[in-house]
């Protein structure tokens, strides 16, 4: 991976991280098109820049994140991240295999797109039937755990999208779109912190040479680019969902999923 490739991948990550279109899938699709070969550093790079992109949420919602008067906020995030930690450890071999299979990711991308076409109709009454749900304090520990269970789906099925799974999970708990979106953003922080720490430790144990000076510079550049782009992407996502709903992302996923399947079938990408 060179500097230009790292910047392109970081831009893709920053744009897609908070959209329900799977940033992981986009990076996995982009790598072969950019001539990036799979290796331990590339895997680490993808995880680290995801964390950098998610750090933008801490900046945007800094008052919420650093309001230590409401300890329940942090406890709810811990409760919600537990299912991902448990199943991530138990299903590591399955996850690694699925992440390396572009056919699986493309099919999940397509199916997830079809699901998103109907999300607005399925949950259109949430804001009306639950007008009191205007603040994160309305999210109970039980709801937090259930949303965390939905997040597991994005781990088991790469390409589903962590944000899509958690947003839908929130809406099944009768949260408004705003609350579902924000809790999805918040939950991303501990989730990716854990994933980044695990990935870094694994690489340190098996491939410590990955942390050469040149690679560290690529990680720094990629992290900064992903962070800045994600700052803009979050605001864009909130406006689009509030005005147009999720269907537009569903159609995008369907088109992209079909396109990747065609490219795989014709051996344009492997």
Domain map of the chain by residue range?
3-265
pLDDT in tens, 219-249: 999 999 999 999 988 888 888 888 888 999 9
Residue 130 tokens read as 């639950």
- Residue count of the chain, please give it: 270
Predicted local confidence at residue 125, as pLDDT: 59
Predicted local confidence at residue 133, as pLDDT: 45
Count of CB atoms situated within 10 Å of the CB of 32: 16
pTM of the model: 0.88
Q: Do residues 256 and 105 make contact, with C-beta atoms less than 8 angstroms apart?
A: no
Q: How far apart are CA 227 and CA 229, in angstroms?
A: 6
Predicted local confidence at residue 136, as pLDDT: 55
The overall average pLDDT reported for the chain is 89
Distant-in-sequence, close-in-space partners of 76: CB < 8 Å, separation ≥ 6: 136, 139, 141, 144
Sorting pLDDT into bands at 50, 70 and 90, what band is 2?
very high
Give the dihedral of Cα atoms 81, 83, 89, 94; nearest 10 deg: -120
Decide if pLDDT at 14 tops 60. Answer: yes
pLDDT in tens, 72-113: 999 999 999 999 999 988 888 888 888 889 999 999 999 999
Sorting pLDDT into bands at 50, 70 and 90, what band is 135?
low
Range scoring the smallest mean pLDDT among 79-93, 135-149, 249-263 = 135-149
Predicted local confidence at residue 93, as pLDDT: 84
Predicted local confidence at residue 134, as pLDDT: 46
Decide if pLDDT at 149 tops 50. Answer: yes
Predicted local confidence at residue 205, as pLDDT: 87
Range scoring the smallest mean pLDDT among 53-57, 68-72, 80-84, 129-133 = 129-133
Predicted local confidence at residue 27, as pLDDT: 95
Three-state secondary structure along the chain?
A: CCHHHHHHHHHHHHHHCCCCCCHHHHHHHHHHHHCCCCCHHHHHHHHHHHHHHHHHHHHHCHHHHCCCCCHHHHHHHHHHHHHHHHHHHHCHHHHHHHHCCHHHHHHHHHHHHHHHHHHHHHCCCHHHHCCCCCCHHHCCHHHHHHHHHHHHHHHHCCCCCHHHHHHHHHHHCCCCHHHHHHHHHHHHHHHHHHHHHHHHHHHHHHCHHHHCHHHHHHHHHHHHHHHHHHHHHHHHHHHHHHHHCCHHHHHHHHHHHHHHHHHHHCCCCC
| 204 vs 219, residue with greater confidence | 219
> What's the rounded mean pLDDT across residues 43-55?
92
């Amino acid at each position: 991976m060179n500097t230009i490739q790292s910047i392109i991948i970081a831009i893709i990550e920053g744009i897609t991280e908070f959209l329900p279109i799977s940033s992981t899938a986009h990076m996995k699709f982009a790598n072969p098109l950019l001539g990036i070969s799979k290796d331990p550093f590339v895997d680490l790079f993808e995880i680290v820049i995801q964390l950098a992109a998610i750090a933008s949420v801490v900046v945007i919602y800094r008052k919420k994140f650093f309001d230590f008067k409401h300890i329940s906020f942090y406890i709810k995030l811990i409760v919600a991240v537990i299912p991902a930690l448990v199943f991530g450890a138990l299903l590591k071999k399955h996850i690694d295999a699925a992440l390396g299979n572009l056919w699986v990711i493309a099919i999940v991308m397509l199916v997830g797109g079809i699901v998103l076409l109907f999300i607005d109709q399925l949950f259109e009454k949430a804001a009306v039937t639950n007008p009191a749900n205007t603040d994160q304090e309305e999210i109970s520990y039980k709801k937090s755990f259930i949303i965390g269970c939905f997040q597991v789906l994005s781990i088991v099925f790469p390409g589903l999208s962590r944000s899509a799974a958690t947003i839908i999970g929130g809406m099944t708990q009768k949260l408004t779109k705003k609350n579902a979106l924000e809790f999805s953003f918040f939950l991303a922080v501990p989730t990716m912190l854990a994933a980044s720490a695990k990935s870094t430790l694994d690489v340190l144990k098996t491939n410590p040479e990955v942390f050469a000076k040149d690679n560290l510079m690529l990680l720094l550049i990629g992290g900064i680019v992903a962070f800045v782009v994600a700052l803009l992407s979050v605001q864009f996502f909130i406006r689009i969902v509030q005005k147009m709903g999720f269907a537009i992302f569903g159609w995008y996923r369907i088109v992209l999923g079909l396109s990747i399947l065609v490219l795989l079938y014709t051996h344009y990408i492997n």
